[in-house]
Amino acid sequence: AQKITQTQPGMFVQEKEAVTLDCTYDTSDPSYGLFWYKQPSSGEMIFLIYQGSYDQQNATEGRYSLNFQKARKSANLVISASQLGDSAMYFCAMRGPNRDDKIIFGKGTRLHILP
Amino acid sequence: ETGVTQTPRHLVMGMTNKKSLKCEQHLGHNAMYWYKQSAKKPLELMFVYNFKEQTENNSVPSRFSPECPNSSHLFLHLHTLQPEDSALYLCASSQEAGVRNQPQHFGDGTRLSIL
């Protein structure tokens, strides 16, 4: 069975500092995809970044990068130069290779950026 | 205009009422999803539609009835709900269901309160 674990329920970070949000996963499939979503207080889930299990390089999207350590089954999200608008819930998610595989989500980490 | 639009944003209803949640996507996607997000619980997938056909019903009680008249519209019909059904209901879409590397794009959600 697949599982996503986010061990940090909440984090406080000073504005302009880099942030690392932890995510570990468990799967027996060699092929899978990993996603990070941001959910502001307004409720919308915003797709941030994707990493495929066979991708050779860590994914990057602007200030977001994914620190993918396959052997450790770790897919941490790194936000560089944090901004006040980064305050939100962040969810790590995973999907397996089969057509009927569902995306499963972690419980999330609430990030607070301090001015 | 956002890619996925949900109405209403907020809904308060009694346990004997009948109401419907609406979701519309403007992304040209072929798959649509309903999720339930309760406090302190991971996001729960409820239903999946792929090319207008329901492909997933994640053991959802029959008091929730989905309808997908076309690939752009998705409804969730509600009747005789229970207090524990109070939650944020999120709609999402993707190009096609079951493809590993395709992210889902979410709406802002409908916050439902059952009195």
Residues A40-72: tens digit of each pLDDT:
998 889 999 999 999 989 999 999 999 999 999
Q: Across the interface, do B90 and A43 touch by the CB < 8 Å criterion?
A: yes
Q: How close A5 gets to chain B, by Cα (Å)?
A: 10
Instruction: Detail the DSSP E strand segments found in chain B.
Output: 4-7, 10-13, 18-25, 31-37, 44-50, 53-57, 64-70, 73-79, 87-94, 105-106, 110-114
Q: Across the interface, do A102 and B111 touch by the CB < 8 Å criterion?
A: no
Confidence at A19, pLDDT banded by 50, 70, 90:
very high
Question: C-alpha B77: how far from its chain's center?
Answer: 10
The span from the CA of B64 to the CA of B12, in Å, is 16
The string of pLDDT tens digits covering residues B49-67 is 999 999 888 889 999 999 9
Q: Across the interface, do B42 and A45 touch by the CB < 8 Å criterion?
A: no
Q: How close A75 gets to chain B, by Cα (Å)?
A: 15
